[in-house]
Chain A
């Protein structure tokens, strides 16, 4: 698939921008802060409904404006789908598919698939478990869009359950009974959605692993083997809904006192993580700067391969945001090799010289919020 058109209103630094895109490589060039990343961020928002730079929607909307609008045209074979999202930080977002309003914003997920590789991805290695959870969540949402519903239901239950547990803390005895009487209702819901998430992530990591090992060997042939492992918060011998449901219920019973004291849900996939190891060593804390880049790049290229394998609509759109300046020659060459057959690649760079000549493709210059072909 490829994006043929991007239009945005009040998105980041842009009041209005509209560009046409073609298959193959397109490089956005311009000085720092001119709005290159903003453009690719707008495109990837239409595929994940989230940004690779910020977790909240507010910074995506132009300062002092109530909402942003992003519209992309996505073409696969002869068919073009038009995706439109209205981003409202103060209320629920809206989406349109081919001009008609969707019941839920999530309904547009799955049509445009993108993989973005950017310097921010170093947090996949160095960052908190939450950063790795977002990586897995975003990938799962693109792989099977119905996961987005499960995830948001789980988050809602978590919020309700935490509010209930919190109300127990100061109250001591007098309303404890009434809290316990409804707690198990929320337990059931937490387990229902939580087990689905745990099983989905377990499967995702199993599917991703061979792609990651293979990619890393290509990128860093002299290095030890890269491996990833799911660290679920609820462990079972067999990972299936029945087993996980049982184990989660047991762990919840076990931790109930702690949960009541801390006023917080301590059991469930919102506390899981993914372990990344190079040979015998955990990547976090041990990997060198260069290795960290290689790991992050492998995770993203492997995600690309996984989505491609699972998608009837061809290659995802590959976005390389500001990554060439930092990569050494070996990794640049690997990237060139991997990228040259991808249906559409969008590159951003402050200096054209940073981008390997073979990859530049079509050039779009970005200056002061204007995009021009020269």
Chain B
């Protein structure tokens, strides 16, 4: 235990994802030894992201404006939507360069244990996009684990009446894994070989 604000900082850092008590202490001492300007800059950035970054009204990705860069990009194929769990999955899929459509962020997966059902996810927004935009295909790219598969099965059912083509990433992704950890080649292949599920 340290005195006052140093301990407060260690405690606060320790609450961050992936930071244990030891790393929290290391980070806190790192800040202590860093010059004030650098620390000030970091503090400003933290506040700035909170104020500036919102989510795109269309796809739910992070964006500083109401419409994100990908939704604004006229070169992208507006007839295909790739559905993902979290905004961070976009960068994994973008890296493969296999996908030229637009995205839809669900904001999680169906998981009753965590109190998350369809109403807690951006599923209504998805169905209204499918009805109102000229969508030909929806690629469901939720993670290949139990909750991801359950969510995919639910989306297939919900989207069926609209007649849109629904596809799922090809197998080959490690079962039980997450997109975030799949390498570009595997993920690219999974996108290319996607199969119809609707």
Q: Which residues of A approach B to under 8 Å, CB–CB?
A: 103-104, 153, 156-157, 159-161, 163-164, 167, 178-179, 181-182, 185-186, 188-189
Contacts and interface: CB of A to CB of B under 8 A. Distances in A.
Contacts of B117: 164, 178-179, 182
B110 interface: yes
Nearest to A104: B176
B118 interface: yes
Contacts of A186: 112, 150
Given A159-B113, A160-B111, A182 B146 contact: no
B110 A163 contact: no
9 contacts: A153-B146, A159-B113, A163-B112, A167-B112, A181-B154, A182-B112, A182-B154, A186-B150, A189-B149
Nearest to A168: B112
B154 A185 contact: yes
A164 B117 CA distance: 9
B154 to A, nearest CB: 5
Contacts of B113: 159-160, 163
Interface residues of B, number: 17
B133 interface: no
B153 interface: yes
B119 interface: yes
A164 B110 CA distance: 10
Interface of B: 110-113, 115, 117-119, 146-147, 149-150, 153-154, 157, 174, 176
A160 B110 CA distance: 9
Contacts of A182: 110, 112, 117-118, 150, 154
A53 B123 CA distance: 46
B38 to A, nearest CB: 34
Question: Helix, strand, loop or mixed for chain A's interface?
Answer: helix
Contacts of A164: 112, 117
Nearest to A167: B112
B112 A181 contact: no
A287 B176 CA distance: 45
Q: Which 8 A-B pairs have the closest CB atoms?
A: A163-B112, A164-B112, A163-B113, A185-B153, A185-B150, A160-B112, A185-B154, A156-B146
B118 A160 contact: no
Contacts of A167: 112, 115
Most buried by B among A159, A160, A189: A160
B112 A189 contact: no
Most buried by B among A163, A178, A185, A186: A185
Contacts of A161: 112
A189 B154 contact: no
A5 B176 CA distance: 33
A103 B175 CA distance: 11
A160 B147 contact: yes
B119 A160 contact: no
A298 B115 CA distance: 46
A182 B176 CA distance: 21
A188 B150 CA distance: 9
Contacts of B118: 178, 181-182
A157 B149 CA distance: 11
A178 B119 contact: yes
Contacts of B157: 185
Contacts of A163: 112-113
Nearest to B156: A185
Nearest to A165: B112
Contacts of A157: 146
B119 A189 contact: no
